[in-house]
């Protein structure tokens, strides 16, 4: 057995050493228990390699913060000024909280995305005024393949938009594909009052059915038609479900199909602005 008296250590210093050692053991045990539990939950929620890397990076940062906190505790425990530790820690926390407000909020938003999954990689979403397909989710940013932007409609512009995670708590988030991969769309056709409305409705419904026939068994509803009065004719709206990625193509194909079928019909005419002179 080691003779403590032979080490020539003052009792008060020995008490401080023991106190520090006990404190370190307690903090380390608590840290390991808490972080392992949280890490296990996060790793079970994620699927991609990039997200797994984000989890590892996050806990590495957390480890550095923990070590920094331990150093503070060691310094102030040795000096014996626990009051000073509390004041300093409070001031340091306030300063860091102010300086790192956005990054901390961003990391909190990332944890929310990983655990609650309001959207996943591949989903088409709108964040505020930004629309795109999610290509990556990192600790600090959401990467979106922009939809629209340089072009009209909902086709990819080829640009990547980086959205800071911190704005997720401030903006509305719209997810096109949270329930399934289908979205409701419509094509409008304006026909003259002299047209056979029943035949116009039939043409629009058949055109939508032909274009979307590959997904009819998967969508919640078959194509439906709605009609409305306009000054220059009757609007025939055919509404249909299609895959989100195929929305613009489906609208274009249905428009072409309606046009070809109207050309072949003798009872339906498309209304358009024109001047008729009556003598």
- Model pTM above 0.85: no
User: What is the pLDDT, as a whole number, of residue 197?
Assistant: 95
| Residue burial 132-145, b: 16+ Cβ < 10 Å; e: rest | bbbebbbbebbbbb
With a cut of 80, say whether residue 127 has pLDDT above it. Answer: yes
Q: How far apart (Å, rounded) are the C-alpha atoms in residues 219 and 162? A: 32
With a cut of 70, say whether residue 86 has pLDDT above it. Answer: no
Domains and CATH numbers, the chain: 9-99 (no CATH), 118-175 (2.30.30.60), 182-264 (3.30.70.100)
Grouping H, G, I as helix, E, B as strand and the rest as coil, residue 255 is: helix
pLDDT digits (tens, 9 = 90+) for 145-192: 999 888 777 788 889 999 999 899 888 999 988 888 888 999 999 999
For 127, counting Cβ atoms within 10 Å of its Cβ (0-12 exposed, 13-18 middle, 19+ buried), the class is: buried
User: What is the pLDDT, as a whole number, of residue 49?
Assistant: 60
Which helix (H) or strand (E) segment holds residue 110: the answer is helix 101-116
Q: How far apart (Å, rounded) are the C-alpha atoms in residues 149 and 153? A: 9
Q: What is the pLDDT confidence band of residue 137, given thresholds at 50, 70 and 90? A: confident
Determine contact, residues 258/251, Cβ cutoff 8 Å: no
In the beta sheet, which residues pair with residue 182? 243
pLDDT digits (tens, 9 = 90+) for 196-225: 999 999 999 999 999 999 888 888 889 999
Q: How far apart (Å, rounded) are the C-alpha atoms in residues 266 and 192? A: 13
User: What is the pLDDT, as a whole number, of residue 88?
Assistant: 58
Determine contact, residues 227/182, Cβ cutoff 8 Å: no
Highest-confidence segment of 92-101, 183-192, 265-274: 183-192
Q: How far apart (Å, rounded) are the C-alpha atoms in residues 111 and 57? A: 13
Strand bridging mode 233-243 / 141-147: unpaired
Q: How far apart (Å, rounded) are the C-alpha atoms in residues 196 and 201? A: 9
**For residue 165, how many other CB atoms are within 10 A of its CB?**
23
Question: Who has greater pLDDT, 46 or 169?
Answer: 169
- Put residue 128 in one of left, alpha, beta given phi > 0 → left and psi -120 to 50 → alpha: left
What are the two backbone dihedrals, phi and then psi, of residue 127, each rounded to the nearest 5 degrees? -115, 105
Determine contact, residues 154/147, Cβ cutoff 8 Å: yes
């Amino acid at each position: 057995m080691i003779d403590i008296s032979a080490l020539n250590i003052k009792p008060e210093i020995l008490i401080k050493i023991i106190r520090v050692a006990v404190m370190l053991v307690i903090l380390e045990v608590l840290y390991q228990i808490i972080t392992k539990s949280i890490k296990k939950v996060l790793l079970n929620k994620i699927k991609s390699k990039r997200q797994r890397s984000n989890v590892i990076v996050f806990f590495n940062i957390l480890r550095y913060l923990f070590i920094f906190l331990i150093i503070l505790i060691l310094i102030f425990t040795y000096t014996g000024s626990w009051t000073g530790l509390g004041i300093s820690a409070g001031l340091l926390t306030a300063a860091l909280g102010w300086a790192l407000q956005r990054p901390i909020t961003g990391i909190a938003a990332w944890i929310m995305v990983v655990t609650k999954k309001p959207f996943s990689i591949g989903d088409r979403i709108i964040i505020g005024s930004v629309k795109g397909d999610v290509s990556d989710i990192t600790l600090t940013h959401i990467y979106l393949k922009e939809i629209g932007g340089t072009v009209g409609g909902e086709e990819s512009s080829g640009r990547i938009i980086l959205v800071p995670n911190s704005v997720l708590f401030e903006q509305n988030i719209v997810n096109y594909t949270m329930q399934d991969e289908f979205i409701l769309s419509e094509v409008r056709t304006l026909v003259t009052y002299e047209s056979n409305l029943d035949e116009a409705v039939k043409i629009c419904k058949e055109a939508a059915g032909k274009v979307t026939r590959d997904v009819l068994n998967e969508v919640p509803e078959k194509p439906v038609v709605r009609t409305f009065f306009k000054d220059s004719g009757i609007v025939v709206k055919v509404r249909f479900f299609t895959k989100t990625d195929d929305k613009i193509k489906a609208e274009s194909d249905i428009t072409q199909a309606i046009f070809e079928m109207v050309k072949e019909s003798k009872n339906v005419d498309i209304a358009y602005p024109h001047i008729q002179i009556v003598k």
